[in-house]
Chain A
Amino acid sequence: MSGTIALDRRALLKGGVALGSGLLLAVPLSGPVLAAAGPAAATDLGAFLRIAADDTVTVIVPVVEMGQGAMTALAVVIVDELGADWSRVAVAPPPAGTAYQRPDVTKYQLTSGSWSVRLWYAPLRTAAAAARTMLVAAAAKEWGVDAASCATEAGRVLHRPSGRSIGFGAVAAAAARLPVPEKLVLKAAADLTLIGRSVPRVDVPSKVDGSGVYGIDVTVPGMVHAAIRHAPVYGGGVRSVDRASIAGEPGVLAVVEVPGAVVVVAESFWQAKAAAERLDVAFAPTPHDTAGTDALMAEERRKLDAPQAARFRSVGDAAAAIAGAARVVTADYSVPFIHHATLEPMNCTASVTADGCTLWVPTQCHTTALEAAVRLTGFDESRIRIHATLLGGGFGRRIHTDFIEPAILSSKAVGRPVKLLFTREEDMQHGFHRPAMTARLTASLDAGGGMTGLSMRVVGPSVHEHFWPAFFKDGLDYAAVMGLTTKATSSGLHYRIPAQHVDYIYQPTHVPIGYWRSVGASHNGFFMETFIDEVAHAAGADPYRFRRALLQDSPRGLAVLDKAAELAGWGKPLPPGHARGIAFCENVDSIVAEVAEVSVVEGRLRVHRVAAAIDCGTVINPDTVVMQMQGGIVNALSAVLGEEITVEDGRCVQSNFHDYPVLRLADAPVVDVHILRSDGPIGGVGEAMVPTLAPAVGNAIFAATGQRLRTQPFARDGLTVG
């Protein structure tokens, strides 16, 4: 990206940066140290940059770090465009502020949806180019030379004709007084030295010596600890609390009733947890006390035949194509509720005083945290401070505020800072789950085995209904139909299928629903790509070649599919009992294909290898893309093999990792990743690999055994892993 672009003055000039101590990450190239606090005597150059007199550059990136590498990627974008010295950079997460929002895209200041680089690449280059222009102008003015004869390099402004140079720190204050330039010239691609390189992540050193500060690690003066006990039935309430039942428990300071739960505040977490468990609490009856997942799934299956549905896509006349087809294939699928199970349980430290409210919190959404604090304290936004810590996993769980609100209320009640931590049991039983979904797909084939029509019906709860109701309208939840659309072709589809209907049918539930890594694409990738495999089988075609034929309108899609097949050695001989499965999906604007190699011996499944190809357009940090692909494939495999939240008597059955089995090292496949270099638009990465994994594995199991798995988790079908 290069050329002259208009400057978004708002993005550059909104400042007011409040940096939390201990949360800065220093780039560890010149000697790995954690910056303990923001540098003194520093000048703000817009919302994203602070330059100290000693030339240290602090980059405030607009997103938080949850392992996806976005803080490093965005810092690289700023530093490269600015011409700063990467070895003298500190990187900080954002405070709450409009400068860190993209209101043209969403009203939320958030880190989710694989949006970080897609949203911020262009604005941050612009902001950094403006700062560079101002630093150069200030130096040129001081030297009395033409700014056009100056440039930046390694944190200094250079005047090439004279060989003079000056550090950013010496001109930052003068630069900040200059008008913000109206027109900017971005660096040419050839002048970029960091973008596109595998720069080591800035957060990694703090994650090998225990020094990284997660929410659970926050300590503030006067702080006390809290444990929570929710009403066991989702959405239930507390009827009465017998405080006398924990009279004399050591360390207990207060019992605070909050909506749907009781919080016990104590001198230490262990005391708070023990007392919360022993506390005598009566919970109020709810309308959902007999609800369960068996009945819910039966209802979803029944709705597959419902006369009414909300139509998401209508291309041609799929019903007519199916009615007049030489051959029809149809199959039903389902996925269960699953939990994010971030390894760091939900937590928040809140301090409510007479002057305001401060939160130290691992959050994916500053806006919802801010709104909750305003709502619960009555302070206006200027009195609320949010310090985002490192996140011990996010995956979509941490956009919610259910762990923030009780911390605020508890601090208000006891008049001290309170660190609230969910036990693993509370975390698992009170999640915001990927909804349990059911689908029916029907295809028509012509006499030659070509696919002429496709009808898809998805039934299940709405993800957007509560968090983002604008995307649940006229009965259509746009999350439920994710992973079925592309901007890469004029038809909106990668596959050339002349007639298509995609319908959604809403299924209410009392179970809290949320955004799990890749959201609706997590099930639609499975539904669609398992079904395409079934159609290929019915047509007597090789599943890779069948998809190739369908991808003739999508050169980028075809290139990705071919690369995954090549990487996996599709068609080459395998050890006895091994088989391959392939799948393809676009999600978060990135195109992915995966080939899984599995074996099934006496019901024991092993996933040996996954070959993955991705086209995500411009790449900032290739190694981060690879690590996300590797990790996301394991995360997705964990879900498809064994993860399931079931509900009985209105409450979650599972409670910890003993009954919510997650994938461990011994069962993890080798993942080979190839990044296709393309000139496509920037795609997201963090969720891109998830939708293709389940069908690739399921299709491989079919190739190995002839057993077609249409229900997740696969452990339900009697397969054991290992």
Chain B
Amino acid sequence: MTTLSVNGRKHAIMLPADVPLLWVLRDHLGLTGTKYGCGIGQCGACTVHVNGEPVRSCTIPVGELDGAAVRTVEGLSPDRSHPVQAAWIAEQVPQCGYCQSGMIMAAVALLQRTPAPTDADIDAAMTNICRCGTYQRVRAAIHRAAKA
């Protein structure tokens, strides 16, 4: 059994220790905002925060997370008011939107570490894949959120 808190709620997870956090969130806790894109840590669609750090949840066995605090896109705000969400709407970033939960979680983590990131900081931190090519607006939205 693994005990962890997700978006402030405690959960006792009765699953084998090797099940990746991604599938625990999606299929067992019903938090489908976190997406599956590759399963090998390449695309970042599954990005969540564990103890404040951005991680690719498809590669983290849940058994390693006993006592951890997990935050997903659903936990950012109850009403899309988190500055990064607001910036994402203002810049009309998403196209298909499938990568955007992970993008947003990566951006929130970047801004926590680096409140006024340069373009180079953004280049280094934002390694998520967007097949729709929204990168230019992702960059603009991060700069906007930094000023908010």
A contacts, CB < 8 Å to B:
32, 66-69, 200-201, 203-214, 216-217, 219, 225, 250, 268-270, 341-345, 390-395, 421, 423-424, 623, 627-628, 630-635, 638, 656-658, 662-666, 668, 670-671
* Pairwise interchain contact A343-B42, C-beta atoms closer than 8 A: no
Out of B23, B94, B101, which one reaches A204, CB within 8 Å?
B94
Q: For the complex, is B96 an interface residue (Cβ under 8 Å from A)?
A: yes
* Pair A209/B43 contact, Cβ less than 8 Å: no
Question: Does B131 interact with chain A (Cβ within 8 Å)?
Answer: yes
Asked whether, in the complex, the Cβ of B135 is within 8 Å of the Cβ of A634, the reply is yes
Quick one: which of B36, B74, B128 contacts A210, CB cutoff 8 A? B74
Chain B residue at smallest Cβ distance from A209? B80
Interface centre among A209, A216, A269, A634 (most CB of B within 10 A): A209
Which of B20, B42, B100, B132 interacts with A270 by CB under 8 Å? B20
* Closest chain A CB from B68 CB (angstroms): 19
User: Digit string of B10-53 for contact with A (CB within 8 Å is 1, else 0)?
Assistant: 00000010011001001110111111111110110100000000
A204 and B34 contacting across the interface, CB-CB below 8 Å: no
- A219 and B30 in contact, given A214-B98, A664-B127 (Cβ under 8 angstroms): yes
Which residue of chain A has the shortest Cβ distance to B98 in the bound complex? A392
B92 engages A424 (CB within 8 Å): no
Query: How many whole Å from B117's CB to the nearest CB in chain A?
Result: 12
Q: Which residues of B contact A201 (CB under 8 A)?
A: 92
| B136 with A630: CB separation less than 8 A | yes
Chain B residues within 8 Å of A217, by CB: 26, 32
Beta-carbon contact of B131 and A341 below 8 Å: yes
> Smallest CB–CB gap between A458 and chain B, Å?
27
Closest CB of chain B to A721's CB: distance in Å? Answer: 13
| Residues of chain B contacted by A633 (CB below 8 angstroms) | 133
Known: A344-B98, A393-B132, A623-B92. A665 touches B23 (CB 8 A): no
Quick check: is B129 within 8 A (CB to CB) of the other chain? yes
Closest to B133 in A: A634
A343 contacts B131, CB within 8 Å? Answer: yes
CB <8 Å contact, B35 and A344 = yes
The distance in angstroms between the C-alpha atoms of A208 and B30, with both chains bound, is: 17
CB-CB contacts below 8 Å: B87-106 with A: 88-89, 92-101, 104
Q: Smallest CB–CB gap between B76 and chain A, Å?
A: 7
A250 to B16, CA, bound (A): 10
Determine whether B70 belongs to the interface, using a CB cutoff of 8 Å to chain A. Answer: no
Q: Which of B74, B93, B96 contacts A209 (CB 8 A)?
A: B74
Check B132 against A209 for contact (C-beta < 8 Å).
no
Besides A209-B77, A216-B36, A423-B39, 17 new A-B residue pairs in contact (Cβ under 8 A), listed by A number: A204-B92, A206-B97, A210-B73, A211-B74, A225-B27, A343-B37, A424-B37, A627-B137, A630-B134, A630-B137, A634-B135, A635-B132, A657-B40, A658-B40, A664-B128, A665-B138, A665-B139
A216-B35, A657-B129, A664-B129 given as contacts; is B89 within 8 A of A204 (CB)? yes
Q: Does B55 lie at the interface of the complex (its beta carbon under 8 Å from any beta carbon of A)?
A: no
- Asked if A344 contacts B37 (CB within 8 A), the reply is yes
Asked if B124 is at the interface (CB within 8 A of a chain A CB), the reply is yes
Q: What are 6 A-B residue pairs whose CB atoms fall within 8 Å in the complex? A: A203-B94, A208-B100, A342-B131, A630-B133, A634-B133, A662-B131
CA gap between A638 and B23 in the complex, in Å: 29
- Chain A neighbourhood of B92, CB < 8 A: 200-201, 204, 623, 627
For B126, the closest partner residue in chain A by CB is A665
Q: Indicate if the CB atoms of A207 and B135 lie closer than 8 Å.
A: no
**A68 to chain B: closest residue by CB:** B95
Whether B129 lies near A270 (C-beta < 8 A) is no
Q: Does B72 contact A (CB under 8 A)?
A: yes
Cβ contact within 8 Å between B96 and A391: yes
User: In the complex, which residue of chain A has the Cβ closest to the Cβ of B39?
Assistant: A424
The binding surface of chain A is classed by DSSP as: loop
Q: Shortest Cβ distance from A226 into chain B, in angstroms? A: 12
The docked-state distance in angstroms from the alpha carbon of A66 to that of B27 is: 23
Count chain A CB atoms within 10 A of each CB in B33, B136, B139 and give the residue with the most.
Answer: B136
**Is B64 interfacial (CB 8 A cutoff)?**
no
A344 x B23 contact (CB < 8 A)? no
Residues of B within 8 A of A670 (CB): 136
Do B20 and A210 touch across chains, with their CB atoms under 8 A apart? no
* Complex partner residue of B133 from A200, A203, A391, A631, CB under 8 angstroms: A631
B19 CB contacts on chain A under 8 angstroms: 270
Q: Is the CB of B95 within 8 A of A627?
A: yes
Q: Does B85 contact A (CB under 8 A)?
A: yes
Chain B residues with CB under 8 Å of A391's CB are: 96
User: Looking at A201, A211, A631, A663, which has the most chain B CB atoms within 10 Å of its CB?
Assistant: A631
Task: Write the B48-85 contact mask toward A (1 if CB under 8 angstroms, else 0).
Answer: 00000000000000000000000011101101100001
| Complex contact A345–B34 (CB within 8 A) | no
- Known interface pairs A344-B35, A345-B37, A657-B42; A392-B96 also in contact (CB < 8 Å): yes
Distance in angstroms between the alpha carbons of A656 and B43 in the assembled complex:
10
Residue pair A665, B123 in contact (C-beta under 8 Å)? yes
Minimum Cβ distance to chain A for residue B71 (Å): 12
B6 interface residue, CB < 8 Å from A?
Answer: no
Q: Is B111 an interface residue (CB 8 A)?
A: no
Contact B40 A393 (CB under 8 A): no
Q: Which has the most chain B C-beta neighbours within 10 Å: A201, A210, A217, A638? A: A210
A634 to B137, CA, bound (A): 12
Q: Does B4 contact A (CB under 8 A)?
A: no
- Residues of chain B with a CB closer than 8 A to A219's CB: 30, 32
Cross-chain contact B129 with A200 (CB below 8 angstroms): no
Q: Are B95 and A270 in contact (CB under 8 A)?
A: no
Residue contact A67 to B132, C-beta cutoff 8 Å: yes
Most buried by A among B36, B72, B133, B138: B133
- Closest CB in chain B relative to A543 CB, distance in Å: 26
B43 with A343: CB separation less than 8 A? yes
What chain B residues lie within 8 Å of A205 (beta carbons)? 80, 89
Bound Cα distance from A345 to B43, whole angstroms:
12
Nearest CB on B from A277, distance (A): 11
User: Nearest B residue to A65 by beta-carbon distance?
Assistant: B96
How far is B31's CA from A623's CA once the two chains are assembled, in angstroms?
31
